[in-house]
Amino acid sequence: MIQHTLDELKRQAALKAVDYVQDGMVIGLGTGSTAKHMILALGERIRRGLKIRGVPTSQETADLARSQGIALIESDNTWTLDLAIDGADQVDPQLCLIKGGGGALLKEKIVAAAARQLIIVVDHTKRVPMLGNSFPLPIEVVPFGWGNTAKQLEAIEGKAVLREREGRPFRTEAGHFILDLHVGSITDPADLEIRLNQVPGVVETGLFVGRTSLLIVGTPEGVVLQTAPQRS
């Protein structure tokens, strides 16, 4: 019952996010359970005449988008996105994120960086006073020498655990591994992102700092909006 309730909260937040989509836009399409609600809602609007194009962040998203009539842009083209809509595993008060629980963090960050606006959609349980602690930080790494990469990451902070599926290393769509870095409170996400990205073998981290334009939160009391804080 609780899970069903949280899923409904995600759906309500996703419906609100779709209100920001206008005819003719090029949209970045996130990955995960919240993004699924968003894509289904876009499909409903497309059947009522909305015309958009999308850039998917995973094969799963691409397949669902096509089933909903969303025209997709080839990933190797150059594109500028009007808007990207995605979920997150954790969100702090400054709208910094941890993403990558589903393994699509690399494509998600590429899409986020190309978007004029990034809308993040979550249920209220994803909001935390500080990133880290209860959710590990995913880090995408090249398979070669991943053990050495893990040691260097641990020298910075935390304990790196190779993500596995069915007893074998999980591989991203790009063929990389993911190390889940178990850390305490991340007091300075921007600094940590820089230091982790300096480790040879790291492709990308699941820290999304300074990228969120608008947070839409599904809560038991209704949908709540939070805009990004002004940066000096």
Active site positions, annotated: 108
Is 147 known to sit in a ligand binding site? no
Residues near 164 by beta carbon (within 8 Å), at least 6 away in sequence: 170
Is 24 known to sit in a ligand binding site? no
For residue 125, give both structure tokens.
Answer: 């349980």
Residues near 161 by beta carbon (within 8 Å), at least 6 away in sequence: 136, 179, 180, 181, 182
Is 88 known to sit in a ligand binding site? yes
Is 101 known to sit in a ligand binding site? yes
Which helix (H) or strand (E) segment holds residue 207: the answer is strand 207-208
Is 126 known to sit in a ligand binding site? yes
Is 86 known to sit in a ligand binding site? yes
Could you tell me where the DSSP H helices lie in 19-85?
33-47, 59-67
Is 34 known to sit in a ligand binding site? yes
Q: How far is CA 179 from the centre of its chain?
A: 16
Binding site, residues?
Answer: 31-34, 86-89, 99-102, 126
Binding site for substrate, residues?
Answer: 31-34, 86-89, 99-102, 126
